[in-house]
Amino acid sequence: MIEGKILKYYREQKGYTQEQLSKGICSVSHLSKIERGITEYSGEITTILSKQLEIDIQEEVRKFKSFVAALQEWQNAIVMLDTEDMHVKKAALDANPLKDIPDFQVRYSLFLARHYLVFYEIEKCHKIMEKIKKLDYNLTPYESNLYNHVQGIYYFSIGSYKNSIEVLKKINSNYSSQEYYYHLAISYHAVHDNTLAQYYAQKALHYFQETLNFTRILDTETLIILQINAQSQFSLEETRKYYYKLIQSAKKIQSVDRLLKLYYNFGQELFRRKYFEEAKEYLDKGFSLIKEDDFYYLTMLDLYIDICYKGNLKSKERLLSDAKKGLNHAIRRKDHRYLYFNLHIFLLNGMEDSYYEYVENEVLPYFVKSGNEDGIQHFEVRLFRYFIKTGQNEKAWTIAKKKMLAEKSHYDLD
């Protein structure tokens, strides 16, 4: 069967028809059956056909099997989030022409989309997923599950959490990568469904422990502490102990990415509890690990400005400088987070009306377009309060009416 796929690939690469290749060797119908793997065939025929194509069929079979193993290794690196190894594996596969064989094309493309998501290259992932959707090709059960997994991560990345859950729940029990439990957990956490977030976090933790995936164990335990504090605020002392343990683990496995996110998450938790100075200390630790061109830098800077503004820890002039710096970075990257830095600038300049006009005309439309339910809910509530405060009752009513129409009464029968 492998020989047939290889012969078909190289025949099409060289521009031969089945009739041209099979002439004087076998019938066209026999070649067709060999290529489709639905007939027995002799080694002599495949040898003669491969000579016509100027290939060594045994060597190509070896390469085919090696490519299958390389694809699996790339997937393992992605699941482990070993970014250095991911780049090495991707480079080797990119240079291999076998990636264009139909058997590999979809799987390779899905791993490539997933690779891009790890590095926050959202648009590149989106283009691949749209291309696969248009293919005239029936996905295998594994490919269908993998497609749903990658699509679910993509939806989460753009803040469309309900779509993420809907797609991830389509994955069936035959799918070998139980990593998707983690993505279900973070999606349920994002929509504040604490019960299911905890349920899938525990399943993900069990899977990562079984596979000795220490990096992802750390990710899942980080999610669990976020979930604990989301359900009922843990004592600050216990929260500190938990984060300290996770921080030491991140240092032990030398994972800068994990350490950075832990500093960010703990800083955010301290900010939520109004421990502004301590929150700033953890953000400062995070900045010591990150370069300004890194994707996570803008997320860190956004929170840092909030902390310093609410805690009165830096002058408005210095924070304005930080906000303009973030804005320039975001614009240069063509990154939607420029919206947040424009909001900071309006707020720091005391331009309340301009702030809410920008929310109404720029920020909310962006979140609606991307399907980011959390962003929509957050800014609609803020806009509603502003409209009530400033006597813009018609606009306030429009938001309230939309929210009420979206709600379903528990007493409704249909």
Range with the largest mean pLDDT of 30-39, 134-143, 191-200, 315-324: 315-324
Q: Return the minimum-mean-pLDDT range out of 2-6, 154-158, 282-286, 317-321.
A: 2-6
Q: Give the separation between CA 194 and CA 227, rounded to whole angstroms.
A: 7
In this prediction, residue 298 carries a pLDDT of 96
* Residue 358 confidence (pLDDT) above 60: yes
**Residue range(s) occupied by CATH 1.25.40.10 in the chain:** 58-177, 241-348
List Cβ<8 Å contacts ≥24 apart for 277-284: 277/311, 277/313, 279/307, 279/311, 280/304, 280/307, 280/308, 280/311, 280/313, 283/307
pLDDT at 408: 55
**Structure confidence at residue 411 (pLDDT):** 45
Which two tokens mark 336? 């939607």
CATH number corresponding to 2-55: 1.10.260.40
Q: What's the average model confidence in pLDDT over 14-27?
A: 90
Tell me how far apart the alpha carbons of residues 333 and 294 are, in angstroms, rounded to a whole number. Answer: 10
Residue 95 has pLDDT above 90, yes or no: no
**Which is more confidently placed, 264 or 10?**
264
pLDDT of 206 reads 96
Per-residue pLDDT, averaged over 171-184, amounts to 93
Mean pLDDT of the 65-75 span: 91
Residue 36 pLDDT > 70: yes
Q: Which of 304-308, 343-347, 398-402 has the lowest mean pLDDT?
A: 398-402
- In the prediction, which pLDDT does 243 show? 95
Residue 414 pLDDT exceeds 60: no
More confident residue, 35 or 136: 35
Is the per-residue pLDDT at 285 higher than 70? yes
pLDDT of residue 405: 62
CA end-to-end span of the chain: 54
Name the band, by pLDDT with cuts 50, 70 and 90, for residue 6.
Answer: confident
Report the pLDDT value the prediction gives residue 413, as an integer from 0 to 100.
Answer: 44
Average pLDDT for the chain: 91
Phi, psi of 293 (to 5 degrees): -85, -10
- Statement: residue 126 has pLDDT above 80: yes
pLDDT number for residue 113: 97
Query: How far is Cα 273 from Cα 319, in angstroms, rounded to an integer?
Result: 21
The CATH number of the domain covering residues in 58-177: 1.25.40.10
Task: Please say whether the beta carbons of 158 and 122 come within 8 A.
Answer: yes
Which CATH class for the 241-348 domain?
Answer: mainly alpha
Q: How many Å apart are CA 103 and CA 4, to the nearest integer?
A: 12
Segments of the chain assigned to CATH 1.10.260.40:
2-55
**pLDDT for res 363:** 96
Distance CA 245, CA 204 (A): 20
What was the pLDDT predicted at 410? 43
Cβ atoms of 277 and 313 closer than 8 Å: yes
